[in-house]
Amino acid sequence: MRTTRVMGWVAVLAATALLAFPGVAAADDGKDAEDGGAPSEAGTSFRTATAIRPGQEATAEASTGDYLYWAFPVDAGQRATVHATVKLPDAAARHAASTWQVDVYDGLRRRQACRLGTPKRTAAREAGSVSLSCTLRTVRAWSEQWANDPLPGTYYLRLTVTDLKADDLGLPVRADAKVTTTDAGGAQAVDGVLGEPLVPGAGSDRQRPAAATEPEDGWASGWWSSRWLWTAGGGVLAALAGVGGYALTRGSGRPARAAQGL
């Protein structure tokens, strides 16, 4: 009976340890990271990019042909997806189809490839809007200098039209932008640590500088990973297995000693 009770507690504690250490965190809840309203404008260059936070919806009124820039933070272990929707001018005012594209750059202004999504799309003349998306690779805490791996820091979303009839330049459009992030889990963690996140210095522009983009809890700098949880959970399970094994061995040895005593 004692051995049965010990094994029952081992099973309960093992299950609790596994449930307490999930491998992948849930996606962003989508709430605004700031108390103020969502940004209602976009920058026209890297230096004037409007800062937004993951889950925050930004809008901008612009003219067809403008380059629109937003800046946002992505930390180590996160996978970011950018979303952009363009509300097109009245179909009667347009002369032909138009092709729109989103590009994402890191803090070193290196263009990052999209692993998922539709970063480029052509809108028919009669279309009312066009939606684009781009899911980046998981941000690494450290990388070789020659590699183009995404690193922690400020990222830039650029939205523009790439193919347009000259007669349609300058027509008014409305752009909506949003960034969502998910935690990729310890499976994507690396041992190296970047000294500082790739965040540009604040400029003298009147708009909010991109350097203001920073996670609410600060930069993790790669020291934290869910691998710590799995390591701790493995240690707990190993200790429980040792206790359970000792209890089984001790319990099975008692009848033999009793028989010898008789």
256 and 148 assigned to the same domain: no
What is the separation of C-alpha 39 from the centre of its chain, rounded to a whole number of angstroms? 20
234 and 214 assigned to the same domain: no
Q: What is the DSSP letter of 9?
A: H
167 and 200 assigned to the same domain: yes
Residue 155 has pLDDT above 60, yes or no: yes
138 and 89 assigned to the same domain: yes
Confidence class for position 144, pLDDT limits 50, 70, 90: confident
What distances in angstroms separate CA 218 from CA 139, 152, 172, 209, one per listed residue? 16, 11, 38, 17
For residue 257, what pLDDT is reported? 52
Alpha carbon distance, N-terminus to C-terminus of the chain: 23
152 and 211 assigned to the same domain: yes
Paired tokens of 27: 């996606």
Residue with the bigger pLDDT between 41 and 221: it is: 41
Residue 34 has pLDDT above 50, yes or no: no
CA distance 162 to 160: 6
- Phi, psi of 47, rounded to the nearest 5 degrees: -70, -30
% of the chain with per-residue pLDDT over 90: 49
234 and 213 assigned to the same domain: no
Residue listed under structure tokens 């041992």: 191
Residue 235 has pLDDT above 90, yes or no: no
CA distance 89 to 95: 11
96 and 201 assigned to the same domain: yes
Number of domains within the chain: 2
CA distance 82 to 79: 10
Query: Which of helix, strand or coil describes residue 105?
Result: strand
Q: What is the CATH number of the domain that holds 204?
A: 2.60.120.380
13 and 66 assigned to the same domain: no
- Phi, psi of 163, rounded to the nearest 5 degrees: -140, 115
What contacts 177, CB < 8 A, 6 or more positions away? 42, 52, 57, 58, 59, 60, 68, 70, 82, 83, 84, 157, 159
pLDDT in tens, 37-53: 789 999 999 999 999 99
216 and 149 assigned to the same domain: yes
Q: Which domain does 198 fall in, by range? A: 26-221
168 and 240 assigned to the same domain: no
Q: What is the DSSP letter of 137?
A: P
CA distance 151 to 172: 36
Task: Give the Cα-Cα-Cα angle 16, 17, 20 (nearest 5 degrees).
Answer: 85
133 and 233 assigned to the same domain: no
pTM: 0.69
240 and 187 assigned to the same domain: no
120's enclosing H/E stretch is strand 120-123
